[in-house]
Amino acid sequence: MSKPLTDQEKRKQISVRGLAGVENVADLKTNFNRHLHFTLVKDRNVATKRDYYFALAHTVRDHLVGRWIRTQQHYYETDPKRVYYLSLEFYMGRTLQNTMVNLALENACDEATYQLGLDMEELQDMEEDAGLGNGGLGRLCVRVLIGMEACFLDSMASLGLAAYGYGIRYEFGIFNQKVVNGWQVEEADDWLRYGNPWEKARPEYMRPVHFYGRVERGPDGVKWVDTQMVLAMPYDTPVPGYRNNIVNTMRLWSAKAPCEFNLKDFNVGGYIQAVLDRNLAENISRVLYPNDNFFEGKELRLKQEYFVVAATLQDIIRRFKASKFGSTEIVRVDLTKLPDKVAIQLNDTHPALAIPELMRLLVDEEKLSWDKAWDITVRTCAYTNHTVLPEALERWPVDLFHNLLPRHLDIIYEINQRHLERISSVFPGDQDRLRRMSLIEEGGQKRINMAHLCIVGSHAVNGVARIHSDIIKNTVFKDFFEVDPQKFQNKTNGITPRRWLAMCNPGLAEVIAERIGEDYIRDLGQLKKLLNFVNDDAFIRDVAKIKQENKMKFAVYLEEQYKVKINPNSMFDIQVKRIHEYKRQLLNCLHIITFYNRIKKEPNKSWTPRTIMIGGKAAPGYHMAKMIIRLITAIGDVVNHDPVVGDRLKVIFLENYRVTLAEKAVPAADLSEQISTAGTEASGTGNMKFMLNGALTIGTMDGANVEMAEEAREENLFIFGMRVEDVEALDKKGYDAAEYYNQIPELKQAIDQISGGFFSPCQPDLFKDVVNMLMHHDRFKVFADYEDYIKCQDRVSTLYKNTKEWTKMVIHNIAGSGKFSSDRTISQYAREIWGVEPSLEKIAAPDELPVGYDDSELGPKPTL
């Protein structure tokens, strides 16, 4: 195997990622050494690789700071409408390389580190992934894949929007996954243990957040009293736009106990315990809940949801009052103008408490009437739904609310009463409709339906792919759609081409730029120009060559990490996403077993070799997902050690799948598996990343696959299986797994091998739960799509042998992927929900300001 070019070597060949002048190299080296000495207090004799990474990170951050401050000054001067994106999760990944790309510093940094005798890729590998999100991990929750929130923040900055991401600064992010003896084992993700060079603490903007207490009504209005207070400390991370000098802010809140927390116990000898009890307050931001849908009723999770909302809304109102617009009021800020200057996007139901909290602030604190406050709230808030399964909608027990947030429970009851009065006036006497549409679910334990709260309290509700948006209008939220059809929209998700092409696949980015220019990084729709090169032999060779180089590099990585030598000329068949029954990794497993059995039956036949990789995390409380991982690893143990099979089939479970690993796997993939049951995937963004990087999709007509097939034409994807209407028809008829099991010999053989202990000889009944689920309780109908899936995989194998025709399909897919830019997604959010206009104009960088420019000319200092 010839050694592939490193990314550093590739970057020296390309221009699409920016050519920082060589005159910057000397300055970068000087600043690198300055940070090594004065920030880290080290010299080259004792510095470690991590020290060198921190020195480089601080050096790059220096180039952000001036732009960051200048951006806030620009926003103060122009006073635009500001967008606030509220999410309990921000799966950001690493920051260094993305920042260098967006600031056009990468080449200069490459050269500077090279001259310093350091390896850029080694330094980048020292950075911890900021795993502050599940990446869609969930048991029943249907969410998007890795880094959507990061993509959106990148696009907001690149489009010049005055936007802020708000979330929680979890001390421990999503767990690190280890595979021990084939089983998933969770380890704590202590991502902050070495510090974070990108964040800036802002203690001056610390905000109080209250819990518990009671509600008191008097002549002066309603008061929430006798509460327990926790402080929310903000930590700001810069989010640079793509070469436009805009640097926006992601503000994450960390819980801090107030100084007086329980210290009254000091006088009775309880000082030590009182200090220790401070942890009870600070636990709020300690750990990200793995989203296994079992945190219903968990007080800590509800505390997290209110904590981020309460701190954020105080910050939003503070900034509004301090803006030019707000401060023009002589006596009192006119909060009825809030929707003109503020847009709040609720990412899923987790920040739903923003609605009653904003009402509380406006009614209780600002003394507005209910009707005025409600008008402000609805016009300010919008809601993105990520869930098509009704049982996955977030619900909270009323009893828990009554104890933890008594004032908010009152407000929700009032919202519900007014909402039901309206519904009753439109549909008089329809008690069943009132029950279905109520925010409060009766029967057994009373619960608050947070999705219903979001819909009622928002002016816009959107799904994240066209098929998903149609489903929520026609089924999940049909009643609400009938009442307020104008609220419902679709915003098909997208990915940032900066991270998911220019950064992770520089070779392909350059090959494209040589044909159509470099502007496509800002306008991904220009990729359609590649259709002019579908039959260009030179372009076909270049695309195939880049793919092979990426595969060779990934093969080296896999051999180092997994001690499995794989054939880089084999088809890299990859399914990476959270482990979940509806994602149907089990269907993939059945294909692996079928292919294995065929090779064993006809070992001398000319088979298309495959390396099948499956990766993803199982929620810790999700037994079946963990069993699926165990089955994948068990199949791999048998297949990978069978001398008859050799390198014609290898099975690898990609441990601890995360953003950084995705950046390696996605450019190397030949085939992308997107095989969920039709009607269950909200969107998917992994499918978009694979498409943009030249992998062909085998998939069902589900989520964004439908629109991908439209953009690239269906004949350029491998589409199989039931459509949504077929699934609905099968539900009505009744799905009988035994019918397929008895009629399809290869399927029966595979299931019998699993149940008979072929893949677990030391424990023959190890997978009895998996087989029992497939045979008797499979909601996602794996067997119903098995036969068509196998036939489709046969078509894949046949085409892969024809490199030219395969690559022509690849080019069609790359050319059709322009729609799936997060820039397009965010532009639609901006114009159609937030009421702001994106801009590709640059602002002046600090070193581009006029000579003699004085910051004092700005007047009052802008608030952060």
CA–CA separation, 82 and 166 (whole Å)? 13
Clarify whether 689 is annotated catalytic: yes
3-state secondary structure 417-484: HHHHHHHHHHCCCCHHHHHHHCCEECCCCCEEEHHHHHHHCCCCEEECCHHHHHHHHHHHCHHHHHHC
214 and 410 in contact (C-beta within 8 Å)?
A: no
364 and 335 in contact (C-beta within 8 Å)?
A: no
User: Of these residues, 395, 553, 577, 819, which one is catalytic?
Assistant: 577
CA–CA separation, 861 and 859 (whole Å)? 6
User: Of these residues, 58, 251, 360, 386, which one is catalytic?
Assistant: 386
Clarify whether 337 is annotated catalytic: no
Clarify whether 578 is annotated catalytic: yes
Q: Which helix (H) or strand (E) holds 672?
A: strand 671-674
User: Of these residues, 689, 781, 819, 824, which one is catalytic?
Assistant: 689
How is residue 657 written in tokens?
């799948």
DSSP 8-state class, residue 652:
E
User: Of these residues, 17, 578, 610, 781, which one is catalytic?
Assistant: 578
532: left (phi over 0), alpha (psi -120 to 50) or beta: alpha
351 and 86 in contact (C-beta within 8 Å)?
A: yes
93 and 130 in contact (C-beta within 8 Å)?
A: yes
CA–CA separation, 294 and 298 (whole Å)? 8
Q: Which helix (H) or strand (E) holds 610?
A: strand 610-615
Clarify whether 577 is annotated catalytic: yes
Residues 6 or more apart whose CB falls under 8 angstroms from that of 674 comprise 681, 684, 686, 687, 697, 698, 699, 700, 702, 703, 705
246 and 843 in contact (C-beta within 8 Å)?
A: yes
Q: Which helix (H) or strand (E) holds 123?
A: helix 120-124
Alpha helices in 569-676 (DSSP H): 585-601, 623-640, 659-668
User: What are the φ and ψ backbone dihedral angles of 229, each rounded to 5 degrees?
Assistant: -105, 140
CA–CA separation, 598 and 600 (whole Å)? 5
Amino acid at 593: I
CA–CA separation, 657 and 660 (whole Å)? 8
CA–CA separation, 609 and 568 (whole Å)? 10
User: Of these residues, 113, 685, 697, 700, which one is catalytic?
Assistant: 685
User: Of these residues, 583, 630, 650, 658, which one is catalytic?
Assistant: 583
Closest-CA residue to 699 (of 674, 721, 723, 716):
674
Enumerate the active-site residues. 386, 577-578, 583, 685, 689
